[in-house]
């Protein structure tokens, strides 16, 4: 049985009674507290926002201002924390019981890990889950661990093929490619008939998953507790990605800040196609000379021999278990506001982000949003990731592998064998290899 940290508070009831994990793992319910008058609620909360500070951060700060119209005495200390640093930074602070934020925007894979370490409040029975059925099933699933729920979904996403409509039209391509073979042909045609590169493949593990999924591969098999990252299917998928570069159909990725280079080239119309997600829509929309959303095409990622699909991604709101109990009412009020259908519709309209609530899709700001409509089939084709505590540790080795294969020309199977050994030694030692 998983060891339960003594003294970890668990959120319970719509009025935020707390239960404390006692010795032996049994929960003891506290008495219910009266409902809180928003105007009288006083607290100071720190929120770590891990979204892009330039493209997305301002919209979240607008939401905070809206929240304060109802809760004028709840001060939100907004802190933008780089996404790449937040996972380890939060773990370090939570373990030390000092310096952690009251509320965190956590990547979906982080939640089971943080929950397993005792760093998060469980939300079961709280008003945050009073309308649990309104959340989409897959985004909500990422918040579950050991029979309890430790967060609420903020946004869902998956990788799509994003393309420049004007460049494809100039090359005589009437529809986006639906297979990797079609993408290779289209990219070569674009390169021949325009001044742009056909496609840019970001050399990072997450962005190579559509190639591996396309051949029927995956990272681990949680049912059989087996490491499958070094399968022949995954090696075949990586070979397809590398062939795009070796053949000249894809631009050779940069060894430094490949992601930033990809986005710059795409916005400047020097690359016609990229694999990316809805979090970059606002960035592309604001790019001078690109042509706005009218010139941005969005389609599901191309497929391989087995299927087509990108990884299910997104972020969740979670509450630090070390937060003082007197802040609980304010923290829940803030998360409830930020995760409401209205707030999700606001972010959808502003940024093109995909709501995680069914009811949000009934609101005009979402219903009439062309970007959301374009991404819906993308998300529907998304491949679920393993919601296990170790899932957040999969991508360090994957990123190293991506660099080795796409930039250093290492053999795909050999690079995957190295990842499998690292998974066995450091990530999921109980799994078979």
pLDDT tens digits for range 376-413: 899 888 998 898 999 989 999 999 999 999 999 999 99
Average pLDDT over residues 286-308: 96
Q: What is the pLDDT of residues 105-117, one digit of tens each?
A: 999 999 999 999 9
Q: Is the pLDDT of residue 17 over 80?
A: no
323/418 Cα distance (integer angstroms): 40
Distances (CA, A) of 151 to 29, 55, 371: 20, 24, 26
Token digits of residue 277: 């997600």
Average pLDDT score over residue span 136-152: 94
CB 156 within 8 A of CB 139: yes
Of all residues in the chain, the percent with pLDDT exceeding 70 is 92
pLDDT band at 34, cuts 50/70/90? Answer: very low
The per-residue pLDDT for range 221-259, each reduced to its tens digit, is 999 999 999 999 999 999 999 999 999 999 999 999 999
Return the percentage of the chain with pLDDT > 90, whole number: 87
For tokens 């661990």, name the residue.
145
Token pair for 161: 């093929």
Q: What is the pLDDT of residue 384?
A: 86
The residue with tokens 């919209």 is 59
**Dihedral sign, Cα of residue 122, residue 128, residue 134, residue 139:** negative
CA distances from 45 to 54, 97, 101, 119 (A): 22, 16, 8, 17
Among the listed residues 64, 135, 80, 142, the one whose alpha carbon sits nearest the alpha carbon of residue 110? 142
The continuous run of DSSP H or E covering 28 comes out as strand 27-29
* Residue 1 pLDDT greater than 60, yes or no: no
Give me 73's structure tokens: 């005495």
Average pLDDT over residues 13-33: 33
- Position 4 scores a pLDDT of 30
Q: What is the pLDDT of residue 37?
A: 81
> In whole angstroms, what is the distance from residue 11 CA to residue 6 CA?
15
User: Three-state DSSP class for 191?
Assistant: helix
- 12 pLDDT band (50/70/90 cuts)? very low
Task: Tell me: pLDDT of 9 over 60.
Answer: no
Given a contact cutoff of 8 angstroms between Cβ atoms, the answer to whether 284 and 267 are in contact is yes
* pLDDT confidence of residue 36: 64
Tens digits of residue pLDDT in 206-219: 999 999 999 999 99
d(CA 9, CA 323): 9
User: Mean per-residue pLDDT for 116-129?
Assistant: 95
Which helix (H) or strand (E) segment holds residue 157: the answer is strand 152-157
CB neighbours of residue 87 within 10 Å: 21
**Which pLDDT does position 35 carry in this prediction?**
58
Which of 142, 148, 147, 126 minimizes the C-alpha distance to 328? 126
CA distance 140 to 384: 12
């Amino acid at each position: 049985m998983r060891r339960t940290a003594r003294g970890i508070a668990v959120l319970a009831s719509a009025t935020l009674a707390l239960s404390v994990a006692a010795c032996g793992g049994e929960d003891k319910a506290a008495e219910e507290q009266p409902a809180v008058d928003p105007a009288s609620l006083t607290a100071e909360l720190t929120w770590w926002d891990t979204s892009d500070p330039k493209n997305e951060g301002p919209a979240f700060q607008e939401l905070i201002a809206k929240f304060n119209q109802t809760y004028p005495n709840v001060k939100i200390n907004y802190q933008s924390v780089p996404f790449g640093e937040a996972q380890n930074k939060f773990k370090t602070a939570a373990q030390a019981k000092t310096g952690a934020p009251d509320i965190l925007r956590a990547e979906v894979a982080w939640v089971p890990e943080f929950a397993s370490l005792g760093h998060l409040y469980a939300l079961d029975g709280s008003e945050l889950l009073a309308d649990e059925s309104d959340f989409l099933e897959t985004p909500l699933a990422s918040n579950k661990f050991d029979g309890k729920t430790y967060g609420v979904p903020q946004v869902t996403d998956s990788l799509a093929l994003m393309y420049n409509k004007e460049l494809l039209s100039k090359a005589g391509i009437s529809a986006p490619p639906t297979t990797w073979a079609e993408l290779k042909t289209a990219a070569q045609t674009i390169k021949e008939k325009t001044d742009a590169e056909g496609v840019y493949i970001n050399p990072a593990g997450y962005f190579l998953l559509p190639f591996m999924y396309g051949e029927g591969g995956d990272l681990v098999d949680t049912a059989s507790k087996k490491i499958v990252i070094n399968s022949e299917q995954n090696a075949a998928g990586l070979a397809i990605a590398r062939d795009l570069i070796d053949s000249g159909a894809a631009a050779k990725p940069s060894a430094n800040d490949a992601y930033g280079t990809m986005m710059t080239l795409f916005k400047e119309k020097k690359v016609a196609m990229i694999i990316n997600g809805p979090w970059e829509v606002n960035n592309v929309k604001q790019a001078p000379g690109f042509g706005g959303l009218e010139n941005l095409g969005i389609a599901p990622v191309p497929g391989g021999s087995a299927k087509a699909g990108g990884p299910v991604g997104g972020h969740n709101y979670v509450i630090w278990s070390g937060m003082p109990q007197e802040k609980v009412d304010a923290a829940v009020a803030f998360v409830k506001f930020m995760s409401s259908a209205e707030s999700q519709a606001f972010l959808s309209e502003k940024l093109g982000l995909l709501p995680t609530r069914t009811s949000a899709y009934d609101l005009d700001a979402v219903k009439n949003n062309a970007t959301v409509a374009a991404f819906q089939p993308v998300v529907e084709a998304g491949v679920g990731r393993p919601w296990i505590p170790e899932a957040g540790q999969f991508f360090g080795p994957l990123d190293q592998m991506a660099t080795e294969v796409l930039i250093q020309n290492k053999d795909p199977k050999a690079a995957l064998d190295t990842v499998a050994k690292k998974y066995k030694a450091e990530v999921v030692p109980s799994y078979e290899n």
